[in-house]
């Protein structure tokens, strides 16, 4: 009666296979709900183990999220850096080529509703520059201050970026300027862009510039900023090359608050704070790359719970981000983003949580991540080592 290979099969085996098929059909939607379930789809599993496999899979995904070894979840380093009683609002953080983090803080100064008037002019210039060292390197292991500079120069610190050669790029929203200091920092800036205390929108002025990104190929990108909502590209000597075109069809930026370069993917990611999204136009870094702003090369990450995204930093092709207070429904926390997939890979944070994270940075080795907070002022360190535990994943 039976034909083919079924004829040689004992009836008991046929019945158990039928049972397995029915089970698989019933459970088919379950692995699809858990992302990564495809790793199990083609695998032969004995029916009694099937539930356990599914349960394991779900637990693994929910509890550990370590399915992405190239994008490890940041794990807080408790007790680092120890008390820093002199710390003011920490607006920026970056990491030197030697792995020590550098913070940019406001000392006794704060940014409040009366700091600027309706034409974006700073109203406290007569108080003078901040009389304490505003740029402080902390030891990456002990957290102790290693060196400090930037006294009597800045009025309202915002962004800091240490480039691959050890130069420090700083933005001051009161001065409406961007500065480049040589390695070591002391002394006069090597480069000053923008006009001191004068907000503007032309080629030679900024308005509350927020952040700088520097490519290994030398290009300098400035997020400008709270009022102009544009990204400008300069050459290494500070000559304006262009306003970076944003992908076509996208609404204009609203407060580009931080930048992160994905040099391998040739994308410049922008924390588009008030639009609650991360926009990554083509950066056009190398000859032969898609031209800057090429809409086909652009990426957009816009999940509903991202909120006002303040800080972003790249680790390879992955972007770590922090949001700030947005609404009751949107928690303040960290995100791990895959811009090219336009996806959120993970959500994370310290215990018991962030208050007002403002910037973050990943060290050049990719092993640590730092978050700067305004109020209460603090700096947090997170490990980015992939977890060492042996995983059961079947992913190759
Ligand atoms: C803002 O302040 C500057 C001087 O600090 C003044 O010249 C300008 O008129 C003020 N703008 C407004 C709208 O009040």
State the virtual CA torsion across 123, 84, 350, 91 in degrees, nearest 10. Answer: 20
Residue nearest to atom 2 of ligand 1 (CA): 121
In whole angstroms, give the CA distance from residue 276 to residue 203: 27
In whole angstroms, give the CA distance from residue 173 to residue 193: 12
Question: Under a CB-based contact definition with an 8 Å cutoff, are residues 380 and 371 in contact?
Answer: yes
How far does residue 61's CA lie from ligand 1's centre (Å)?
55
Cβ 118 under 6 angstroms from ligand 1? yes
Cβ 44 under 6 angstroms from ligand 1? no
Residue nearest to atom 8 of ligand 1 (CA): 119
Cβ 119 under 6 angstroms from ligand 1? yes
How far does residue 119's CA lie from ligand 1's centre (Å)?
6
**pTM of the predicted model as reported, rounded to 2 decimal places:** 0.82
Residue 21, SS3 per DSSP = helix
| pLDDT, one tens digit for every residue, the chain (396 residues) | 333 333 344 445 555 555 555 454 555 444 444 433 333 333 444 455 555 565 555 444 444 546 688 899 999 999 999 999 999 999 999 999 999 999 999 999 999 999 999 999 999 999 999 999 999 999 999 999 999 999 999 999 999 999 999 999 999 999 999 999 999 887 899 999 999 999 999 999 999 999 999 999 999 999 999 999 999 999 999 999 999 999 888 999 999 999 999 999 999 999 999 999 999 999 999 888 888 777 778 999 999 999 999 999 999 999 999 999 999 999 999 999 999 999 999 999 999 999 999 999 999 999 999 999 999 999 999 999 865 555 555 544
What are the extents of the domains in the chain?
A: 7-63, 75-383
Residue 287: the pLDDT is 83
In whole angstroms, give the CA distance from residue 344 to residue 112: 33
- The CATH architecture that domain 75-383 belongs to is 6 Propeller (2.120)
């Amino acid at each position: 009666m039976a034909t083919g290979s079924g004829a040689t099969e004992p009836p008991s085996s046929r019945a158990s296979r039928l049972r397995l098929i029915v089970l698989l059909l019933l459970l088919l939607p379950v692995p699809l709900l858990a992302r990564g379930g495809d790793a199990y789809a083609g695998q032969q599993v004995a029916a009694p183990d099937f539930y356990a496999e599914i349960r394991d899979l779900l637990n693994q995904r929910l509890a550990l999220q370590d399915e992405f070894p190239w994008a490890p979840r940041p794990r807080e380093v408790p007790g680092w850096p120890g008390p820093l009683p002199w710390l003011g609002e920490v607006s920026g953080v970056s990491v030197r080529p030697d792995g020590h983090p550098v913070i940019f803080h406001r000392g006794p100064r704060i940014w409040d509703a009366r700091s600027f008037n309706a034409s974006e002019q700073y109203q406290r210039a007569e108080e003078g520059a901040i009389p304490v060292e505003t740029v402080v390197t902390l030891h990456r292991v002990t957290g102790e201050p290693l060196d400090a500079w930037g006294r009597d120069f800045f009025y309202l610190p915002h962004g800091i970026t240490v480039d691959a050669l050890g130069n420090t790029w700083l933005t001051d929203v009161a001065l409406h300027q961007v500065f480049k200091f040589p390695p070591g920092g002391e002394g006069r800036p090597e480069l000053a862009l923008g006009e001191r205390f004068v907000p503007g929108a032309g080629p030679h002025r900024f308005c509350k510039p927020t952040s700088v990104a520097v490519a290994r190929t030398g290009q300098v990108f400035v997020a400008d900023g709270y009022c102009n909502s544009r990204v400008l590209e300069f050459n290494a000597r500070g000559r304006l090359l262009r306003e970076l075109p944003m992908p076509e069809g996208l609404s204009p930026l609203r407060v580009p608050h931080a930048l992160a370069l994905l040099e391998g993917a040739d994308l410049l990611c922008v924390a588009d704070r008030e639009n609650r999204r991360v926009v990554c136009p083509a950066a056009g870094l190398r000859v032969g790359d898609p031209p800057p702003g090429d809409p086909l090369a652009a990426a957009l990450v816009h999940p509903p719970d991202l909120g006002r995204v303040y800080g972003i930093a790249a680790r390879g092709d992955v972007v770590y981000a922090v949001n700030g207070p947005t609404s009751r429904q949107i928690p303040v926390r960290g995100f791990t983003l895959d811009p090219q997939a336009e996806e959120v890979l993970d959500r994370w944070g310290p215990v018991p949580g962030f208050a007002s994270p403002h910037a973050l940075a990943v060290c050049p080795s990719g092993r640590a991540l730092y978050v700067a907070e305004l109020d209460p002022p603090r700096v947090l360190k997170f490990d980015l080592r992939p977890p060492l535990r042996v995983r059961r994943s079947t992913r190759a």
